[in-house]
Amino acid sequence: MVKVRLSRIGSKKNAIFRVVVADIRAPRDGKYLERIGLYDPNLDPPRFEIDRQRYDYWIGVGARPTHIVKKLAQKSETA
């Protein structure tokens, strides 16, 4: 099964996340199939960028977003 999830990058106490499509068996910061976005919660307001076309494609072929990614994608869609 494939998930759309966050992968952590950035230094200690300065987390920045990539939005990636990965196999559920891969480690959080490990191998992924495609990088489709970025989330930086340290900014005010937090920065969330996603390639909506690729996100919709992966959802269409059966990938499941994590709770956080789903919430962020819905929020960015309305904004």
Residue 3 near residue 21, CB atoms below 8 Å: yes
**What residue ranges in the chain does DSSP mark as E strands?**
2-9, 16-23, 34-40, 47-50, 64-65
Residue 79 near residue 48, CB atoms below 8 Å: no
Tens digit of each residue's pLDDT (9 = 90 or more) over 14-38: 999 999 999 999 998 889 999 999 9
Tens digit of each residue's pLDDT (9 = 90 or more) over 37-65: 999 999 999 999 999 999 999 999 999 99
Domains detected in the chain? 2-78 (3.30.1320.10)
Tokens of 35: 């990088």
State residue 78's pLDDT score.
77
- Pinpoint the alpha helices (H) of 22-66: 52-60
Q: Give Cα 45 to chain centroid, integer Å.
A: 17
Assign 76 a pLDDT band (cuts: 50, 70, 90). Answer: confident
